[in-house]
Amino acid sequence: METRIFRELNKTTEDRLLRAEEVAVMIGSSLQTINYWYRFKKAYPDNEYSKMLPDFIQDGERQTRYWHPKDIQKLVDFKNTIPHGRHGILSPITQKYLRNRKEQND
């Protein structure tokens, strides 16, 4: 059975979907940063910044995420717009992750 993702991946270079790793390289951010962005979007869906993030395509909950090439500019705009640093908008998400990680190592 041919899935939607399989059909998308076989399109020409300009039309094909991009994996998260490819997107991270293209926008100059880490994969972990992109994960934080989408955790923020899930936790705060009504936030004005969350609405800036384009939706990704995914066949299942733990499957590979894909973006359309046209979404790259939206991700760059999001990256350049959000407040950064210790008191930026991602602070609740990153601090939660870091606390959980520290507790696991103790």
Q: Would you list the domain boundaries of the chain?
A: 4-105
The model's pTM: 0.73
Helix-strand-coil percent breakdown of the chain, rounded to 5? 55, 5, 40
CB count within 10 Å of CB 78 equals: 19
**Residue 20: HSE in the Cβ half-sphere, 13 Å Cα cutoff:** 17
Hey, CA dihedral for 72, 30, 7, 52, is it positive or negative? negative
**Residue 9: HSE in the Cβ half-sphere, 13 Å Cα cutoff:** 11
pLDDT digits (tens, 9 = 90+) for 51-91: 999 999 998 888 999 999 999 999 999 999 988 777 777 77
CB count within 10 Å of CB 70 equals: 8
CATH fold group of domain 4-105: Multidrug-efflux Transporter Regulator; Chain: A; Domain 2 (1.10.1660)
pLDDT digits (tens, 9 = 90+) for 36-46: 999 999 999 99
